[in-house]
Structure 1
Amino acid sequence: MPSPHPSRRAVLAGAAASAFAGRAIAAPASPFGPLKAPSWSADSLQAAASAKGVTYGCEVPFHRFGKDAAYRQAVARECGILVCGTEMKMEAVLPAPGRTAFAEGDEIQRFARANGQRMRGHTLVWHEALPEWVRPLLARSNAFQAEDFLRRWIGTVAGHYRGTIEAWDVVNEILAGQDQVRRPDGLRETPWLAALGPDYVDLAFRILHEADPRAAGTWNEDAVEQGVPWMEERRTRVLKRIEGMRARGVPIRRFGLQSHLTSTLPIDQGQLRRFLAELGKLGIGIELTEFDIDDRAFPGDVAARDRAVADFARRYLDVVLDEPALLNVLTWDIYDPDTWLNDHPFRKRPDGLPQRPLPLDAQYRRKPLWHAMRKAFADAPDHSAARARLRRG
């Protein structure tokens, strides 16, 4: 005779299921409108990039997008691909058990389609941006329950946008940082690792592929770009893990270099070139997903600082754009006043001046960084055919 009281396992599984009531993993895509003619101008960053088979775009913060027509015009003029900063993360989509919130992400998606722009999805599995109710849920769950929750989460958000997202950041920042305890496998200690073990990475890619086979699964990682020994170690770990994933048949198709470059660290073009070439040999597409330049090491004078930022960007982009596997270049926003760098305690300039890390200034004027990026695209070799093959998967 069954017990009249539900088991702990049943209670936890029910709690996870309640967050996704009425939603199936293969839910049909919402109607975001047809993909219309491109809006970008003939002299835009996207026009220069697309001539070489690359797509340029940016992160779009809804607080700016929703209220500033000049911002929307700039994004429509310059970009061929967009990504939401927060609006597709779990903290935004699942604010409470049994409740989903897609309105802001949907609005950006409709804008993109109306302007002939593609969309990236950001991000499915991260140790940050978790709603307050999810951490304790994962902590109480066994592996079966945690996997059920992960399947329902990815199925919900990827199913909602099914067929309209070019690539999803499936896992984000999964390697331990420089100052964190190192496991032998290099993985960061997170609620996902605690609940599911190291196989959660492979599992997340397989679930996305089930939910939306057309979306390219991307591993998005930070601090793998510059010429210091601890980043070289991380690059080695990346290559080793991707080799293993490919051998296991995990449907990983892309690797994302966040590219939050800092002027206080060097760019070693030789190391960078070798790393990108090794990724290309593995059949992995490459994306710059969050490109900007922390200008702390440069002078306060605006003209001198802008020139230094532009020169720094060229040293990086000239190498990256040489690699045939490079598909997308996205800046983390496009408009200086909104940069996250001014709010981060370890990124603020010592002189207190606002950073100037992005292509457009506070008046939406094109800065030296914009011109350096456009020239880098124009000077890059044309790998359009190789890039088209990688996009097809």
Structure 2
Amino acid sequence: MSISLKRRSLLAGSAASLLSRPAGAADFGPLGKPSWAADGPQGVAMRKGLAFGAAVPSNLLNRSAEFRKILARDCGLLLGNNELKMAVVMPEPGRTDFAPADSVVRFARAHGQRLRGHALVWHEALPSWVAEQLAKASPAQAEDFLRRWIDTAMGRYRGMIESWDVLNEVLAGYGPVRREDGLRETPWLAALGPGYLDLAFRLAHDADPSAVLTWNEDSLEHDFGWVEARRARVLTRLEAMRKRGVPVRRFGIQAHLVSDHPFDAAKFRRFLRELGQLGVGIAITELDIDDKAFPADPAARDKGVADFARRFLDVALDEPALLDVVTWGLFDGDTWLNDHPDHRRPDGRRQRPLPLDEAMRPKPFREALIAAFRHAPDHSTVRARLRGTA
């Protein structure tokens, strides 16, 4: 057998091992009645055609009754923060683990909550064994693997996960852009070329035609020259994809806000309007606020975070195409910011970037969310049309 065939056999064999029996709705219980409180973030948001939710870790969901109570009260939309990333689902060849994702899906269905899937194609959370095989694969082999991965992940939850982040962070990061097309250099790009963006969406649509397919991107919020150029690249590429009939129906803005970075409301408002004019829905997908520029005093920090959140949300919620607001975690004990060297506070104190504190008590950020939803313009009709529920 040739080396090429051996590589094909390994990729195909590993991919085939993914093909577990797709689970039907009965495996996850019936869709329950909505559990959220009328005066909580989701209860207020839904009056304007919006959904509020959070990324959740399944391990905490499974062990903390208090956390489950809060999620049921405050959220109308859930996703696992790592549970459907390839590194979790496929840690090694021949073995898949959907148990963490299953628990999030099961909880959301029981409480009548929408679900997001995150993320099918990303340069991080890629198992080392997959990256190694992609580096050796022909384009046909890489495409076959991508198809089987998407079929398996989406097929397991077909009809239950409303929207999927098909692409995540595909544009080049900070600093000078090396490629003329602005794409990040990743194993997917190396294996399949720039066409992998369109391909991923088409494969995802085949796997679950009912799912809303999203391009999720970072570093689009703040007022820097390189961010403005990045927004322009998004608009140009997204418009071209739509003209080619690529089934991208939503654009996700991560919104990892940083307290010492400038924010220009007028420029961000214009970007949202231009996205909406392309006919896609918009989601704020990973909202949190790095508080390192705010004082050490917790009350002062919480006020700074809440004020920034309100300024940002007042702009975002003005846009009729804005559909969802999702925080990356719901309480301060579940933030990634304390573990990232770029986001550690100079004074060594732990970040307070989310709606609830480390003891899961509501903070001014939660109040700011509710107030922003309550005072937002009512674009329910447009939002229902974009969701396909009008």
Which of 62, 71, 75 does residue 71 from structure 2 map onto? 75
Tell whether the 8 Å contact from 2:18 to 2:95 is kept in structure 1 after alignment: no
Partner of 1:37: 33
Partner of 1:283: 279
CA distance in 2 between counterparts of 1:328 and 1:374 reads: 14
CA distance in 1 between counterparts of 2:162 and 2:20 reads: 18
**Quick one: structure 1 residues 142 and 22, their matched pair in 2 at CA, closer, same or farther if it must change by over 3 Å?**
closer
1:372-387 equivalences under 5 Å are: 372-387=368-383
Bigger drift between 13-22 and 383-392 goes to 13-22
CA distance in 2 between counterparts of 1:270 and 1:177 reads: 24
How many residues align structurally?
388
1:320 matched to 2:325? The reply is no
1:101 matched to 2:115? The reply is no
Partner of 1:182: 178
Tell whether the 8 Å contact from 2:16 to 2:148 is kept in structure 1 after alignment: no
Give the unaligned 5+ runs of structure 2. none
Q: What secondary structure does 1:51 align onto?
A: helix
Give the unaligned 5+ runs of structure 1. 1-5
Deviation at 1:180, TM superposition (A): 5.5
Q: What secondary structure does 2:48 align onto?
A: coil
1:128-277 equivalences under 5 Å are: 128-179=124-175, 181-277=177-273
1:334 matched to 2:330? The reply is yes
Q: CA RMSD in A?
A: 1.4
User: Identity rate of aligned residues, in percent?
Assistant: 58
Partner of 1:18: 13
CA distance in 2 between counterparts of 1:180 and 1:13 reads: 36
Partner of 1:52: 48
Structure 2 letter corresponding to 1:231? V
Tell whether the 8 Å contact from 1:81 to 1:119 is kept in structure 2 after alignment: yes
CA distance in 2 between counterparts of 1:362 and 1:245 reads: 42
Bigger drift between 111-120 and 66-75 goes to 66-75
Instruction: Kindly provide the CA deviation profile for residues 153-198 of structure 1, in whole angstroms up to 9, marking residues without a partner as x.
Output: 1111011111111110001000101235420000000000000000
Deviation at 1:117, TM superposition (A): 0.5
CA distance in 1 between counterparts of 2:296 and 2:368 reads: 20
Which of 298, 301, 305 does residue 305 from structure 1 map onto? 301
> TM-score, length-normalised on structure 2?
0.97
Deviation at 1:8, TM superposition (A): 2.5
Bigger drift between 209-218 and 180-189 goes to 180-189
CA distance in 2 between counterparts of 1:20 and 1:98 reads: 8
Tell whether the 8 Å contact from 1:289 to 1:330 is kept in structure 2 after alignment: yes
> TM-score, length-normalised on structure 1?
0.96
Tell whether the 8 Å contact from 1:26 to 1:155 is kept in structure 2 after alignment: no
CA distance in 1 between counterparts of 2:170 and 2:21 reads: 26
Bigger drift between 63-72 and 371-380 goes to 63-72
Deviation at 1:212, TM superposition (A): 0.4
Tell whether the 8 Å contact from 1:20 to 1:99 is kept in structure 2 after alignment: no
CA distance in 1 between counterparts of 2:19 and 2:127 reads: 21
Deviation at 1:14, TM superposition (A): 1.6
Q: What secondary structure does 1:20 align onto?
A: helix
Partner of 2:353: 357
CA distance in 1 between counterparts of 2:13 and 2:97 reads: 15
Structure (1/2) with the larger helix percentage: 2
CA distance in 1 between counterparts of 2:52 and 2:315 reads: 16
Structure 2 letter corresponding to 1:34? P
Instruction: Kindly provide the CA deviation profile for residues 94-135 of structure 1, in whole angstroms up to 9, marking residues without a partner as x.
Output: 111122111110011000000110110000000000112101
**Quick one: structure 1 residues 28 and 111, their matched pair in 2 at CA, closer, same or farther if it must change by over 3 Å?**
closer
Q: What secondary structure does 1:83 align onto?
A: strand
Deviation at 1:29, TM superposition (A): 3.5
Q: What secondary structure does 1:353 align onto?
A: coil
1:7 matched to 2:2? The reply is yes
Partner of 1:3: none
Deviation at 1:24, TM superposition (A): 5.5
Deviation at 1:226, TM superposition (A): 1.3
